[in-house]
Structure 1
Amino acid sequence: VSAGLVALVLGLIYLQTSAAVHANELLAAVLWKVFFALVLIIGVVAWLFVLAQQSRRAAEEETRRQTTLLIQEIDAHKRTDAELQRAKEVAESANLAKSRYVVGLSHELRSPLNAISGYAQLLEQDNSLPPRPRDQVRVVRRSADHLSGLIDGILDISKIEAGRLYLSRDEVRLSDFLDQLVGMFRLQAAAKGIDFVFKRPPVLPVVVYADEKRLRQILINLLSNAIKFTQAGHVQFVVHYRSPVAEFEVIDTGPGIQPDDLERIFAPFERGALGVSQPQTGTGLGLTISRLLAGVMGGAIKVSSTVGTGSTFRVKLLLSEVTNPRREAPVDAPVYGYLGPRKTILITDDDPTHRDLLREVLAPLGFILLSAPDGPGCLALAQHCRPDLFLLDISMAGMDGWTVAETLRSAGHHQARILMISASALEAHGAPLAQPFHDGYLMKPIDIPRLLETVRQLLRIEWQYEPEQTPPPQWKPDSATRPPVKYIEELIGLGQLGYVRAIQLKLDEIGHEHPEHADFVAQMRTLVDRFDLDQYMATLKILHSYDH
């Protein structure tokens, strides 16, 4: 088309020019040359135009194909996101169901455990109880404490996994805290016949900020594992402090941990291959909880071990020093009353066993005690008397403890103190826990010293403590027939090993076979119960010298 238009234009030029000019042949030759030159140019331009059009069409087709693929990918992502959202909802629903189950199971276990632990504590404080039954009661209390610790451990794992574990900011007197731990585990190590070595830095802060319960839980788990799995040698507890980082090392000479088990032992209910063969392997939750708690507290736990040589656990935590600590007076002697006017306490619990337990604890101290089986009964009693302190169970049929507390506050009992007592975990109560209807919260099973300290703080009273009891009169060798020398030598050998349980069994054997040595057995049992092994050994050596 372009070439035809050019030819038409050149033909018109030739016709117009040839009429005026007589050199037709020369003009025709020039126009033909111009035409052929323009045809070449037109051909090249036309070809370039065709190529551009083809390229544009190919680009448009590729764009449409890519757009289609992108739309398909977006649809696939939408379907994947929808499936992930459904899976997330299912997982959250399952996790919520698990948490509800664990919390409900905790409540059902803590309710009977509260009576077991509470009455065991009361019996253990009864001085009229003979030594042997008191030892049996002590075993019951320790077993109840162990079961309570297992419940707390399962709850802690559930709360940490759900991200609902809350740390408290306590003022911990570090030296006293460490001395308590060392005193407890030194006795356990001595009873097992191994050495317990404690090394502390020359300078330690007096008071640090930490969650005392969680810190104690971590160290108790590590130290108890070290003593449990060490059959011979020693356990070292080493403390380093460089403000504000504290490092605790627990070093033992146990069987060690295989390299493949160094990470597996931190999984729930898992144990190392070498530890399974040891007696009393535990539940397998201690290290799991310790690592999780250390992570929540901003620290970490590391372990190194050599099979056949021992293991070393290192815990690093942030423990900042308290510049102005508050003063607290420790309670060392038993409480038998309080100073000032008599106070009235109203106990509300739907379980009569729990009401009786609280009555057994508080009645001997001089309080005026009232009790109600439910919320309406509590409100009815509160209208006729003005209690100074309400002890409210939370989970009650009909009207729960939170509703009772709110009703008491709205009824004008603003001066009275309200202490909530529950077997459910703290997180089970949600928002009501943060509302200003109550002044304190205690978990079941109730720890009697903690209960008394909370009552003292809420009522602002001062306890009267029993004076220190005079020590029992020393048993003298000539006051009764001395036991046979073979028994004395066996008891001396067991004392050198520090095997307290074996000493108690041997004393039982002597008391059963030789009733005439009852005074000797009673005196030795008193020393062993106090873990006064130095006086125990001194007395036996005196007896042994009389026979030689």
Structure 2
Amino acid sequence: MADTGSLKAWQAHLRSPLYFRQSLLATYMLAASLSSLLFYLIPPGQYERNANLLFSLLTLGMLPLAWVRSLFTPLLHLVTLLSLVLVTYIASKTGAVNSSALVWLNVLAVPVLLLQGPRAALAWIAVVLTTILALLLGALTGHLDTRIDLIQEAVPWAFMNQALALGNLMLAVRLYERLHQRQMQQLHERNEEIQRTHEALLVAQAHKDEFVAAVGHELRTPMNAILGFNGVLRQELADRPEQVEVVDHIRRSTGHLLQVVNDILDFSQLQAGKLMLHLEDFELQALMDEALQADRDKALEKGIVWHGTLDPLLPARVRADRQRLLQILRNLLRNALKFTAQGEVLLHIHASHERLNFEVRDTGRGIALDQQAHIFRRFEHADVQTTRAYGGTGLGLTICEKLVQLHGGQIGVRSLEGRGATFWFHVPLMTASPTAAAQPAEAHLPAEEALRILVVDDNAMNLMVARLQIQKCWPKAEIVTLDSATKALALLREQSFDVALVDMVMPEMDGMALTRQIRHLFPAITARMPILALTANTNPVDRQRCRDAGMDEVLDKPMDLQTLVRSVTHHVLKARA
């Protein structure tokens, strides 16, 4: 195993950019050494040719050092310096500034440019220019002889200067091309690796979404049963206050757990960019009343003044995602109540500059200025003590911020420590359509209505809860419960119902497939039968799939009795019209 690891490490080193640059340095040193050795073999007869031999031996001797990581940069500059010294010496003996050896000075900075970059190359160009200037000054002062002796031995030497300098320059160009190809290959490999990582992340995200959705469904399903039975149990124990208090504790604890699950599901969908807004026309007064109603009893228990005000200049009806605005307001109000021991909590709604403004003011502990920037971050409270004292997941304000941004608005806080806090947000103000504003209030089905209701769910506990809840709303209703879509199809061949409540997730045939089959096989029977989906899945994509399949509405588990009554009433009366 150790040998395999060492082999892989060596293979990785061979593919590394450093190894490639070390190879280029070794090539540069070898080319310089061989070029100098050729000049030693063909002497011009004007300088001591042992200088070429010495340079070749030194360069060849240092060649193994090119593979030492820490010596890479010093060795490059040392070889360049030795080359400069050799060329300067030869030029001083062969005509100074008139020497053909000066052509090598044009080549010296090129390897540095390739291996160290433009800054180091510019430094060497400055050194080269200084050297040429020194040779010129030496010639002008008479210290160096500028005459060139045209002896027969100097001709091949001069030719070799030009030819080898040009050859080394071409070698540098080739090395640059090779370096560029290598860099492009590495870039391509990195891009492919990034693409593979991206695809893996997409798969992981999809698996995470599936996991979160599955966990959410599995958690919400038993909570549906707990809350459903809780309401029935409370009604049965209405004359026993002590037992009712225990039942209420169960309901509050389950509601808190449900809120945590919903926060996690919403946060997951917001992070994945899958949460979509569903715009509808609604009354602002009703929105404010519903937002305040959720925690009114808890506020009264603490002795908190709990109220809201609505600007009279606002339009009575507006257009937005009502459920998401309600979620934001409930989160902010619940947060204000949590941190307010006495005084008041006020919800104020007003408009300005074509914006719908919401403010939640409290007289609580307030937030220090240096901590206000952190409270909208996920999993964070203002401080550790807050987390220990008040609990919570730290997702509530983060979800609020993301929902407000999804609306195209902004959210913020104004607070002084010890003097309360005001959380505010605004969204674009869109007024409802005139036809929507003129709609009359919906009628209600009386409790004595003898409805025929079909409930289809593969979970026996859910069927029991649904029966009890529906019976509570319409005591005289005839309720038929089935545990499979196949049984529902068989029954609908013989009987008709006023409304059908169908679970979205079922084995063999899910609620969407069942709905499509019903709409296709029994058009005459089902044309007047609304089909309402029951689901513990909060994914808006799946909910839209329910509507696309022909379902009239999607109801959440656990079922809210008021929502159940409103939806059944609306669709049954619509079908009878």
Q: TM-score range, shorter-chain basis?
A: 0.5 to 0.7
How much has 1:251 moved relative to structure 2? 2.9
How much has 1:154 moved relative to structure 2? 0.7
Separation in 2, partners of 1:275, 1:266: 17
How much has 1:54 moved relative to structure 2? 9.5
Q: Determine if the alignment matches structure 1 residue 350 to structure 2 residue 458.
A: yes
How much has 1:140 moved relative to structure 2? 3.1
Residue 119 (structure 1) aligns with: 229
Residue 17 (structure 2) aligns with: none
Contact kept, 8 Å, 2:276 with 2:540, in 1: the verdict is no
How much has 1:128 moved relative to structure 2? 5.6
Give the secondary-structure state (helix, strand or coil) at the position aligned to 2:468: helix
Residue 362 (structure 1) aligns with: 470
Give the secondary-structure state (helix, strand or coil) at the position aligned to 1:203: coil
Give the secondary-structure state (helix, strand or coil) at the position aligned to 1:219: helix
- Equivalent runs, 1:107-506 vs 2, <5 Å: 107-124=217-234, 129-182=239-292, 188-196=298-306, 198-242=308-352, 244-273=354-383, 276=386, 279-324=389-434, 325-326=436-437, 327=439, 329=441, 335-338=446-449, 343-363=451-471, 364-413=474-523, 414-415=526-527, 416-427=529-540, 429=542, 432-460=545-573
How much has 1:185 moved relative to structure 2? 5.2
Change beyond 3 A, Cα 1:182–1:437: closer
Unaligned runs of 5+ in 1: 1-48, 464-548
Separation in 1, partners of 2:256, 2:391: 14
Amino acid at match of 2:521: A
Separation in 2, partners of 1:411, 1:174: 42
Residue 484 (structure 1) aligns with: none
Separation in 2, partners of 1:462, 1:142: 37
Give the secondary-structure state (helix, strand or coil) at the position aligned to 2:551: coil
How much has 1:428 moved relative to structure 2? 7.0
Give the secondary-structure state (helix, strand or coil) at the position aligned to 1:266: coil
Amino acid at match of 1:177: L
How much has 1:66 moved relative to structure 2? 3.6
Larger CA deviation: 286-295 vs 367-376: 367-376
How much has 1:446 moved relative to structure 2? 0.9
Separation in 2, partners of 1:346, 1:374: 12
Change beyond 3 A, Cα 1:300–1:52: farther
Give the secondary-structure state (helix, strand or coil) at the position aligned to 2:220: helix
Separation in 1, partners of 2:400, 2:548: 31
Contact kept, 8 Å, 2:347 with 2:361, in 1: the verdict is yes
Contact kept, 8 Å, 2:364 with 2:418, in 1: the verdict is yes
How much has 1:366 moved relative to structure 2? 3.0
Residue 177 (structure 2) aligns with: 67
How much has 1:109 moved relative to structure 2? 0.9
State the TM-score, normalizing by the size of structure 1: 0.67
Separation in 1, partners of 2:377, 2:325: 20
Greater relative contact order, per chain length (Cα 8 Å cut-off, separation 6+): 1
**Cα deviation code 1:246-271 (max 9, x no counterpart):** 22222333333334432332233322
Give the secondary-structure state (helix, strand or coil) at the position aligned to 1:276: helix
**Cα deviation code 1:427-468 (max 9, x no counterpart):** 5748843533322221211112211222122221799xxxxx
How much has 1:351 moved relative to structure 2? 2.0
How much has 1:217 moved relative to structure 2? 1.2
Contact kept, 8 Å, 2:354 with 2:428, in 1: the verdict is yes
Separation in 2, partners of 1:269, 1:222: 16
Contact kept, 8 Å, 1:275 with 1:281, in 2: the verdict is no
Change beyond 3 A, Cα 1:393–1:434: closer
Give the secondary-structure state (helix, strand or coil) at the position aligned to 2:386: coil
Residue 489 (structure 1) aligns with: none
Amino acid at match of 2:228: G
Larger CA deviation: 230-239 vs 107-116: 230-239
Separation in 1, partners of 2:470, 2:231: 13
Computed over aligned residues only, the root mean square deviation of the Cα atoms, in angstroms, reads 3.5
Change beyond 3 A, Cα 1:191–1:299: same
Contact kept, 8 Å, 1:258 with 1:305, in 2: the verdict is yes
**Cα deviation code 1:388-427 (max 9, x no counterpart):** 3322223223222222222222222442332221223335
How much has 1:345 moved relative to structure 2? 2.2
Unaligned runs of 5+ in 2: 1-158
| Identical aligned residues as a percent | 30
Contact kept, 8 Å, 1:107 with 1:423, in 2: the verdict is yes
Separation in 1, partners of 2:262, 2:387: 27
**Cα deviation code 1:200-231 (max 9, x no counterpart):** 43411111111111111111111221121122
Report how many residues are paired: 415
How much has 1:279 moved relative to structure 2? 4.2
Give the secondary-structure state (helix, strand or coil) at the position aligned to 1:452: helix
How much has 1:84 moved relative to structure 2? 1.0
Change beyond 3 A, Cα 1:147–1:335: farther
Separation in 1, partners of 2:223, 2:362: 34
Residue 535 (structure 1) aligns with: none
Contact kept, 8 Å, 1:251 with 1:312, in 2: the verdict is yes
Separation in 2, partners of 1:323, 1:410: 34
Separation in 1, partners of 2:169, 2:246: 90
How much has 1:344 moved relative to structure 2? 2.7
Contact kept, 8 Å, 2:504 with 2:533, in 1: the verdict is yes
Amino acid at match of 1:336: A
**Cα deviation code 1:153-173 (max 9, x no counterpart):** 111111011110011102121
Amino acid at match of 2:503: D
Separation in 2, partners of 1:351, 1:393: 9
